[in-house]
Amino acid sequence: MSARALFGAIEAGGTKFVCAAGYGPLDLRPDLHEVIPTTSPAATLAAVAGFFDRVCRSAGELAGIGVAAFGPVDIDRRSSTWGSILGTPKPGWSGVSLVAPLARFGCPIGLDTDVNAAALAEARLAAEPGVDSLVYVTVGTGIGGGAVVGGRTIGGMLHPEMGHIRVRRHARDQHFAGICPFHGDCLEGLASGPAIRARWGSELAALPAEHPGVEIIGDYLGQLAATLALITSPASIVFGGGVMNERLLPHIRSAAARDLAGYLPVETRAGGFEHLIVGPRLAEKSGIIGAMLLAIGRDGHPDGIESGTRGRAYGR
């Protein structure tokens, strides 16, 4: 067994499960890494457990496993269904426990949403020192967000579902009904990748320069950024995901600035909105790095592990 504690990390996504192991969030072992396609729960979770069996055989016992999961997922440790996927349109996955197949490794398990984990990673490892409040928003097949407030990710009744807020319609986007099956023209119904394709028949990045699409989507995301700034007062709002690109960020910033109308002291801080609203600094690695942070435990210290939870959980 290695002298250093070895941790496992899982980024459990709708299309793939990324599995990794290493000694710290920035010290993943390149030889202990596997990408498993998300198929049936039985096949996918058996492959995940098989990966960690091989990790234990080759590198020794695991001191913890972190799971950064797609949602909706039960992240309430007091709940009897903690670690289970809740009602999802993904066939076969509703009610499936992501943590039960990991119990055999006998180590603490940390679990949170993929976006909360990404927010944790960006706050701890990418933002300037001392930042303990940050929001991470992903804009892709859906729109999701995670948040760190006071150094902890947030959740309660469920976890943040900030993609489903209402936004004011853009003057040049009055007629598209929106595609959210619950709300029609909520933010996700208007600005997710599928909403963009349904409305304009193209990816956002492929629209011609004179097309209003980038400004319209930037406007909607800027409304979310302004709302987040007002509600959680984050030091940083990070926008990532497949729809995001460099052309979009300036529109998000200007829409947020318009909506806030000078009410918050953003512009008086160094960097202003360019400092507040940014792209991801850990790129596509924020999820797996966040999962490592969940494995290691609260505050990154082994003593953050609560007593009596070995084999179960230690915070989210």
> Binders of Zn ion: how many residues, by CB under 5 A?
6
* Residue in 154, 186, 224, 237 binding Zn ion, rule: CB under 5 A: 186
Minimum distance from residue 156 beta carbon to Zn ion (Å): 19
Decide: is 169 part of the binding site for Zn ion (CB under 5 A). no
162 touches Zn ion by CB under 5 A:
no
If the CB atoms of residues 65 and 180 are measured against Zn ion, the closer one turns out to be: 180
Tokens of 57: 């055989």
Q: Which of 164, 169, 298, 310 binds Zn ion (CB under 5 A)?
A: 164
CB of 185 to Zn ion, least distance (A): 8
Which range of residues in 17-25, 92-100, 156-164, 208-216 is near Zn ion by CB under 5 A? 156-164
| 194 lies in the binding site for Zn ion (CB under 5 A) | no
Restricting to residues 290-309, name those near Zn ion by CB under 5 A.
none
Using the rule CB under 5 A, give the single segment among 76-84, 112-120, 183-191, 234-242 that binds Zn ion.
183-191
Q: Which residues are registered as beta bridge partners of 302?
A: none
216 binds Zn ion (CB under 5 A): no
- Asked if 179 is part of the footprint of Zn ion (rule: CB under 5 A), the reply reads no
Q: How far apart are CA 31 and CA 27, in angstroms?
A: 12
| Rounded Cα gap, residues 247 and 281, in angstroms | 17
220 contacts 252 by C-beta, under 8 angstroms: no
Of the candidate spans 145-153, 172-180, 231-239, 272-280, the one that interacts with Zn ion by CB under 5 A turns out to be 172-180
Shorter beta-carbon distance to Zn ion: residue 122 or 188 = 188
For residues 216 and 176, is the Cβ–Cβ distance under 8 A? Answer: no
Task: Give the DSSP H/E element, type plus range, for residue 214.
Answer: helix 213-232
By CB under 5 A, tell whether 72 contacts Zn ion: no
End-to-end CA separation in angstroms for the chain: 27
Q: Helix, strand, or coil here: 230? A: helix
* 183 belongs to the binding site for Zn ion (CB under 5 A): yes
- Long-range contact pairs involving 13-17 (C-beta distance under 8 Å, separation at least 24): 13/38, 13/70, 13/114, 13/287, 14/38, 14/70, 14/90, 14/141, 17/44, 17/47, 17/48
Residue span binding Zn ion (CB under 5 A) among the ranges 61-69, 115-123, 175-183, 296-304: 175-183
The minimum distance between CB 88 and Zn ion, in angstroms, equals 15
- Decide whether 33 or 164 has the Cβ nearer to Zn ion: 164
CA angle 48, 51, 55 (to 5 degrees): 140
Strands of 277-278's sheet in order across:
152-153, 143-149, 134-139, 236-240, 277-278
How many Cα neighbours within 13 Å face the side chain of 309? Answer: 19
Q: How far is the CB of 190 from Zn ion (least distance, A)?
A: 9
Residues that bind Zn ion (CB under 5 A): 164, 180, 182-183, 186, 188
